[in-house]
Chains A and B, each alone.
Chain A
Amino acid sequence: MLYINCPHCGMRSQNEFSYGGDASVKRPELNKEVSDQEWDNFVYNRKSLRGKHLELWQHISGCRQWIKVERDTATHEIFRTYKADEEVA
């Protein structure tokens, strides 16, 4: 079970969080023309990469904040966590 540093609450076990997928995906702006390909990339296409991955988690049984977690998908090492509005270094 991972040990995740919630930037709002501190170190908490994984079972307090729910996973939210790739954090680098940007939703296309509302009311903007979006090509089929762009939309597919947003809705469906994800890199299943091995290594460093920026992902979203929600501290669902804690502060309920969505946070960004930089994690190695192969080793589970967590390098850093960020608040939702924090710039990723």
Chain B
Amino acid sequence: MTQPFRIENGGLINRDKKLSFKFNGKTYFGYEGDTLASALLANGVHLVGRSFKYHRPRGFFGAGVDEPYAVVQLYRNGETEPNIKATEQELFEGLEAKSVNCWPSVNFDIGAINNFLKIFLPAGFYYKTFMWPKSFWYRIYEPFIRKAAGLGVASTKHDKERYEHKYEYCDLLIAGSGPSGLAGAYAAAKNGAKVILAEDKPRFGGSLLTSDVNIGNQSGKDWSEGIIAELKTMPNVVVKNRSQIFGYYDHNMLVMSEKVSDHLPSTKKYHPNKRLWYIRAKEVLISSGSIERPIVFGNNDTPGVMLSSAAKEYLKVYGVLVGRKPLVFTNNDSGYETAIEFKKHGVDPVVLDSRKNPESEIIDEAKNLGINIKNSYVVVAAQGYKKVKSADIASISEDKKHLGKIENIQCDCICVSGFWTPTIHLASQSGNKTKFKEEIDAFVPGQSKQNEITLGAANGVFSLDETLKTSFTAGSELSKKITENDNNIAIPNVVEKKSSQHDKFWCVPLPKGKNYKRFLDFQNDVAVSDVEIALREGYRSIEHVKRYTTLGMATDQGKTSNLNGLQLVSEIENKVVPAVGHTTFRPPYTPVSIGAIVGREVGKHSKPTRKSPMHSWHDKNNAVFVDAGVWLRPRYYKRGNENLFEASKREAKNVRINVGVCDVTTLGKIDIKGPDAAELLNRVYTNAWLKLPVGKARYGVMLREDGIVMDDGTTTRISENHYHMTTTTAQAANVLSHLEYYLQLVWPELNVNVVSTTEQWAGAAIAGPKSRDLLQKLFPNSDVSNEGLPFMGYIEGDLFGVKARIFRISFSGELAYEVNVESDYGNFMWERIIEVGEEFKIQPYGTEALSTLRIEMGHVAGSELDGRTIPFDNALEGLVSKKKDFIGKRSLQRSAFLAEDRQRIVGVVPLDKQTSIPEGSHLVKDDKAPLPNPKLGHISASCWSVEYDNPFSLAILKDGKNMIGQKLFAMSPLKNKVIPVEIVSSHYVDPKGERVRS
């Protein structure tokens, strides 16, 4: 199959490698080195989509990152990705793409009746039309907008691709490999600086790939290739193509997205799809170049209307003619360069120049080639629906207000050049105070805030000679500061054609009686008339105009539209452009895949997984695991066909009758040492700690300074100046920071050290009436009798040759112990306990049974210590010392905390003794009361009491102290349940606590 618009020779594509691809189901051919856009244009395909609002036909407008139209849905290797710019997507064998925004097809689009029926959706239409009636929103407006709008469909499948993050540090980061970037990188690299040079396109060289210049007796392109080749050999230089620096953040942190695999049919094994680089640079050189801006005229969105620089790039880089009867419409010399390229390839362009008598070397060359040039002429409107067929043109008066007689000339494309807009996004993101440069009608970077400098076209300098001189110098100077090397580099000679002054003309007036749409923002369909409406309706700030009209808010972020929008506002408001100011540039400069931002932190890798040393035993013994913070803990051990409920009931019951063992390694452990350790504990906990003897443990509660309970746990005095603190699993890290805060900042005079030992100790809780018998067998040489090891006692023992710590503490409310050994012996300890425990009918129990046991005992845990409760609320006021001061004590005197009817923990039992109460249910007095039904409290934790064989819950209830015996309702609108309940004591089982002391 031929490619009718591909020229015989030329371009930088590899004509030896033909590639087939599909667009909207049809097969085409292109070459290696093509973009999807260049390959489609080579095949004469100009219609690629429909516009966002009016569904007007859309073609190609640019050739790169600035493209507003050609956004496609890409299919690659069984995956699909929306929002892909055809001008950036490199062609690969088997590529498939589809148009977006059109239904049922790009050629016949239902939404386009919006356009034909003149139901034009003016500025602010979202705010006006869809506000009323409210009930219409979900049923009518939203489905309509969703169907008719949108730029593609996100895949709902799991993304198989891998994305990586990389952190890098460098002396000089250079954004863009055009002439200034290459010169700066080369000079800095020669001084030994660590340089990263980033180029978003596949090819290095920027404008040198398409401009007709000479550097040091070589073509610009050859010179750039030489520089890149040399840079690549230098160990202090990283050169990256397909890499877009999209964000400039604080303290010279820049983020770059490297497309590692998007140009390949599928990602290579062990390669990521994209790599996100976080780069901390000492200095940043922004050489991001400039983007040609359009001139606004009637129907300027018709396919075939495109930037003149894009037409030149398609020709010079890809060997593709965007048309055979081109019309070039320009207000500066750039249009002539494009016209000359057409002429060189045997195509006769017509040039319309809005200027009266421009003179320059480039124009002379065009004249010498015999190109048809019309001065003081403009395009009034493009004609043709799905493709430009002709253009209405006219002469224009010197004041640019009056058009001459309209003539129609045949053409198949209109190449527009309205001069150049420096790409200042990165500089602006860094906090640079940009300034308006009159000579070029555009903003350029001004006062830097961070270590950043912008050079070349991005700084509004369009002379190659000046660009190279300033960039070589900047590269040398910046690197000299860092490396203290000063290798002088000879700046090469430059041959370039001088250009003449551009015309400050950007918008063609409407001819009398015509009402052509003149578009400013091509992606969001914002026309001149929309901005006029916004201003008429009183919007003045450019930020408001932007949001009301959506000008510049599409995925291209107005790269081609911002400045013309400002020109319009300044004209209507009769202000100069700098007084209007520009809207804030925010990262990302180009859309970035969510996958790249997330990186490897997906699925199981979204957070670290911590496993106890006994994990493999649990795994082998049918444990069903549950996430407990970052830990994986056994929830229950499944036997046969048991479900969670049955298994946890069995496990809990076995603890009450025989003995169970639970992995409690996850509890936070903090080692506290020093002569002032007791004093620290005394200040941190609410109860008294100064008189705790060696070999004894104590339960403690710690508060935040605002009086809210922060955590609870036991701390044991191991020796004179050595304590072992335990925290809840969830609060372990916070408690350590909390202790460090007070030791380092508030009471540095205390001689204490704290360190986390959570990972150093493996823990097993042995609980149940037979636990002492088991313990005695595990530690035959230790006295574990009630006298030898009383409740809250601590001894050290020998577990078959392994040193162990034995604490007599209980969370289950049964006679219980906790044995700790060094983590490496954790599994050994566990296996011995199971082995020796067999004769006592030991069973391992998981977190579900653990919860059951603590709930029916009325022991509080995270669901009660939820950051909203004080000691009283948890019936822990007995642990609050009246004598000594401690963290948060003063807050307990707040009147709300002392209120008579203060909330308090209670037990809750359903009247039918059958229905389990969903956690989170509200307790209310009257189940029939009108909503919102006044809430008296909430269910914090629920279980099936194995002691009484009925449901039991804990609740935090207003005036809980006086509510025992009351009948209330537990309501769960989420589960659609209303359960009559009775309030009972939170200590449902063994209220006197006799078992733990037995």
Contact across chains for A66 and B278 when beta carbons are under 8 A apart: no
Contact across chains for B706 and A18 when beta carbons are under 8 A apart: no
Tell whether B18 is near chain A: CB-to-CB under 8 Å: no
Tell whether A45 is near chain B: CB-to-CB under 8 Å: no
A65 to B252, alpha carbons, bound, how many Å? 25
Contact across chains for A3 and B252 when beta carbons are under 8 A apart: yes
Which residues in chain A, 50-82, are within 8 Å of chain B measured between CB atoms? 56, 58, 60, 64-66, 75-76, 78
Contact across chains for A58 and B250 when beta carbons are under 8 A apart: no
Q: Contacts A43-B705, A43-B891, A65-B744 given: A1-B278 contact, CB under 8 Å?
A: yes
Contact across chains for A66 and B280 when beta carbons are under 8 A apart: no
B935 / chain A contacts, CB cutoff of 8 Å:
none
Contact across chains for A30 and B683 when beta carbons are under 8 A apart: yes
A31 to B747, alpha carbons, bound, how many Å? 14
A58 to B705, alpha carbons, bound, how many Å? 18
Contact across chains for A76 and B737 when beta carbons are under 8 A apart: no
Tell whether B119 is near chain A: CB-to-CB under 8 Å: no
A83 to B829, alpha carbons, bound, how many Å? 43
Q: Contacts A13-B280, A66-B740 given: A3-B253 contact, CB under 8 Å?
A: yes
B744 / chain A contacts, CB cutoff of 8 Å:
65-66, 84-85
Tell whether B931 is near chain A: CB-to-CB under 8 Å: no
Contact across chains for A60 and B449 when beta carbons are under 8 A apart: no
Contact across chains for A58 and B741 when beta carbons are under 8 A apart: yes
Q: For residue A33, give the distance in angstroms from its CB to the closest CB of chain B.
A: 10
Q: Select A1's contact among B253, B449, B706, B890, beta carbons within 8 Å.
A: B253
Cβ-closest chain B residue relative to A60:
B737
A26 to B683, alpha carbons, bound, how many Å? 16
B890 / chain A contacts, CB cutoff of 8 Å:
28, 34, 39
Contact across chains for B431 and A30 when beta carbons are under 8 A apart: no
Interface of A (DSSP majority class):
loop
Q: Contacts A30-B885, A39-B891, A42-B705 given: A66-B251 contact, CB under 8 Å?
A: no
Contact across chains for B885 and A31 when beta carbons are under 8 A apart: yes
Q: For residue B586, give the distance in angstroms from its CB to the closest CB of chain A.
A: 16
A2 to B450, alpha carbons, bound, how many Å? 12
Tell whether A47 is near chain B: CB-to-CB under 8 Å: no
Q: For residue B141, give the distance in angstroms from its CB to the closest CB of chain A.
A: 39
A9 to B745, alpha carbons, bound, how many Å? 18
Tell whether B965 is near chain A: CB-to-CB under 8 Å: no
Cβ-closest chain A residue relative to B169:
A11
Q: What 1/0 flags go to A18-39 for Cβ under 8 Å of B?
A: 1010000001101100100001
B741 / chain A contacts, CB cutoff of 8 Å:
20, 58, 66
Q: Contacts A20-B741, A58-B741, A60-B737 given: A1-B249 contact, CB under 8 Å?
A: yes
B249 / chain A contacts, CB cutoff of 8 Å:
1
Tell whether B929 is near chain A: CB-to-CB under 8 Å: no
Tell whether B746 is near chain A: CB-to-CB under 8 Å: yes
Q: What 1/0 flags go to B676-692 for Cβ under 8 Å of A?
A: 00000001000000000
A78 / chain B contacts, CB cutoff of 8 Å:
251
Contact across chains for B683 and A76 when beta carbons are under 8 A apart: no
Q: For residue B253, give the distance in angstroms from its CB to the closest CB of chain A.
A: 5
Tell whether B748 is near chain A: CB-to-CB under 8 Å: yes
Contact across chains for A3 and B251 when beta carbons are under 8 A apart: yes
Q: What 1/0 flags go to B422-436 for Cβ under 8 Å of A?
A: 000000000100000
A28 to B431, alpha carbons, bound, how many Å? 40
A84 to B741, alpha carbons, bound, how many Å? 10
Residues of B within 8 A of A (CB): 167, 249-253, 278, 280, 431, 449, 683, 705-706, 737, 740-741, 744-746, 748, 884-886, 890-891
- 8 interchain residue pairs of minimum CB distance: A3-B251, A30-B885, A84-B744, A31-B885, A76-B250, A66-B744, A1-B253, A39-B890
Can you sample 18 A-B contacts with CB below 8 Å? Answer: A1-B249, A1-B251, A3-B250, A28-B890, A30-B885, A31-B884, A31-B885, A39-B890, A42-B705, A43-B891, A66-B740, A66-B741, A75-B431, A75-B449, A76-B250, A76-B251, A78-B251, A85-B748
